Structures are given as structure tokens and as C-alpha cells.
Amino acid sequence: MKNKVALACVDCGSRNYSTDKSTRATTDRLELKKFCKNCQAHTIHKETK
């Protein structure tokens, strides 16, 4: 089963991306390096509730 999760920028806190996450495969929160249009840089985005 997959759940839809939002990814928020660590620096500015804006929620720029959403993705699907497999609940069986990963129990940790996702951390992906994505481009933030507010910061104008590649930053780490973490999964939010």
C-alpha cells in the first residue's frame, strides 16, 4: 500500500513536492535532495505529516 506524503524544504519550510511512499518498505521519514524555488537552490526536503 502506498500513501501520499508532502515534502517540505528544511531551510524555508515550504511544501514544494508530493510523492507516494510505500509503508511496508520504509518506516522512516523520507529525505530527498530537491530544487526549492523559494530558496533558488538544491536543498534537503523532508517528509511532513
User: Using the 8-state DSSP alphabet, how is residue 28 labeled?
Assistant: S
pLDDT in tens, the chain (49 residues): 788 999 999 999 999 999 999 888 888 899 999 999 999 999 999 999 7
pTM: 0.82
- Beta-strand pair 15-22/2-9: antiparallel
Q: Which fold has domain 2-48?
A: Rubrerythrin, domain 2 (2.20.28)
The domain limits of the chain are 2-48
